Structure 1
């Protein structure tokens, strides 16, 4: 599968140059394309976007108003499709940072092409009051992409994005925005609202819980938002979050016959997790398992994997099974050693087992063809 960074290619640079040159006779397309394409292949995704943005800064009109006119004309002509808007957003965030009056409306126009959630963050840091004014007005914008920009662009811990230390310390300014969007008709927007409140829960769990309770009582479309926004607290086994979602932390549930097979597994292979749960009374159960991966310096904190939500009947055994593969992925390297696996039900660890993960045996070497090994 192609890497995301390969989307920002010399071919994309050429398309971007074409889009701008088609609406601006003064744009030096050749200089832009030469600048932007030089050394591009050596860079990662964000660095490629920033490099192309630098090329735009060097070749676009120096006037913010004129650059705004050119970009809007290219948008009206159907330009900047898909990934091509990513470096344009980065250009606006850098070259127009001192002109938020021009840049912020322009980012709202660009975000339907490629989300401006990263580009708006420097404006929140440098021009917080003006940027928040725009965000409040965008909560009622007819375009769902603009409304999503409000919640996604202000996420305190947006993945791949600049962290917003002001909102990590005090999330209250963004709650007004989330309140305006929690009942949005677009699931795309509501999912962003949930992700934002989930970010808040990592630093201010009490604030997230109070907000989720309020939404649970007052919203018409907020059920999904509440569930999704509390997922980190649920994984942590927070009793209040579990109770809000209908799970009883103290429900009497016992586990039997928990096993991981095989007990030794090469990197790349899978183990089968099997166990039985029995509840003393009917109960709704959130059933997860945690894997404590080996790190370079020893075991890590448990990584939670969702298994299922199940209504357990009274005093009847229910069998569960799941395959778990110990394979390298982009965000995790598997190290050999003991790995502890735990079963968590309604936030409580009910059982644990250990799997020894080993380096797979190497391929048998080819027979030697050195003179010493040849038959005499």
Structure 2
């Protein structure tokens, strides 16, 4: 599979140069392409975005107003789409940081091309009141991409971005921005609200639980947002979060016949986890399994995998199974050795088993 960094290619630089040259006869396309393209092959994704942004800063008009007109002209002509918009966002966030009056409306125009969620964050830090006023106004913007920018751009722990430390410390101002978006007609926006709520739950679970209960009572779309927004607390087995979603942490449920088959597999292969649950009373159950991957220095903290939510009838045996592959990924290296697998139901670990991982099998050619 192609690496994301390869999207920021010489071909993209040429397309971006054409978009901007089409909007301004004075834009030095040749100089931009030379600056942006030289040495880019040695850089990773974010460094490539910043590199191209610096080339834009060196070749775009020095006046923020004039540069903004060039960007808008390229947008009006249908340009700056997809990955090509990302260096432009970064350029705006850097070169126009002192001019939020020009930059913020420009980011609103750019965000529908891909996303300006990373570029808005420096303005939250540098021009808090001005940016917050603009974000509040955007909550009613007719463009769903702009409304999503309000939520996604202020997430305290947005992946691939630096943390917004002020919202990590105090999430109430950001949470206030989400209130008008909980019932947004766009699932795209509501999913962002849920992801933002999940971010807040990592630092302020009590605040999130109070908010979740209120949204469930008074919101037309709160069910999805709350369910998705509490997922980290549910994976951690938080009793109150489970209760908000209708799961009884203390429900009498037993597990039998927990096993892995096969119980020994090489790296890159899969085992099937099977077990049976027995509930004394009819119970709604959130069922997860936890894998404690073997690390270089021993077992790691468990990684929770969602299995299902299921109504368990009283007094009946209900079987479950899940196939799990132990393959190395960019975020995880599989090491040989015992890997503990636990089954968690309504936040309680009911049982554990073990699968033994051996070194990956290698095929040998003819002697």
Same-fold call, TM cutoff 0.5: yes
TM-score, length-normalised on structure 1? Answer: 0.96
Q: CA deviation at 1:362?
A: 3.5
- Give the secondary structure class of the aligned counterpart of 2:130: helix
SS in 1 for 2:33: helix
Asked which structure has the greater CA Rg, the reply is 1
1:66-215 equivalences under 5 Å are 66-215=66-215
In structure 2, distance between residues paired with 1:81 and 1:164 = 27
Aligned residue pairs total 367
Structure 2 CA distance, aligned partners of 1:300 and 1:170? 31
Q: CA deviation at 1:361?
A: 3.6
String of CA shifts for 1:60-90, please: whole Å, max 9, x gaps.
Answer: 0000010001101111111101111010000
Over aligned residues, Cα RMSD in angstroms?
1.0
- Say whether residues 1:228 and 2:228 are aligned partners: yes
- Structure 2 CA distance for aligned equivalents of residues 103 and 184 of structure 1: 26
Provide the rounded CA distance (Å) in 2 between the counterparts of 1:296 and 1:162: 29
- Over residues 99-122 of structure 1, what are the superposed CA-to-partner deviations in whole Å (9 max), with x where a residue is unaligned? 111111110111000200000111
Instruction: Describe how 1:213-292 pairs up with structure 2 within 5 A.
Output: 213-292=213-292
Report the Cα distance in structure 2 between the residues aligned to 1:193 and 1:158, rounded to whole angstroms: 12
Structure 2, unaligned stretches of length 5 or more? Answer: none
With 38-47 and 194-203 compared, the bigger mean Cα shift is at 38-47
Q: How far apart are residue 355 of structure 1 and its match?
A: 1.3
Question: SS at the partner of 2:146?
Answer: helix
1:284-320 deviation line (CA, Å, top 9, x unaligned) = 1111100011122221111111111111111010111
How much does 1:174 deviate? 0.6
Q: Tell me the distance in 1 between the aligned counterparts of 2:7 and 2:345.
A: 42
State the match for 2:3 in structure 1: 3
In structure 1, the residue matched to 2:55 is 55
How far is the alpha carbon of 1:330 from its aligned partner?
2.0
Q: Flag as ranges the 4+ runs of structure 1 deviating above 3 A.
A: 361-366
1:197 Cα deviation from its structure 2 partner: 0.6
SS of structure 1 residue aligned to 2:217: helix
Task: For residue 365 of structure 1, report the CA deviation from its aligned partner.
Answer: 6.5
Question: Residues of 2 paired with 1:296 and 1:93: CA distance?
Answer: 41
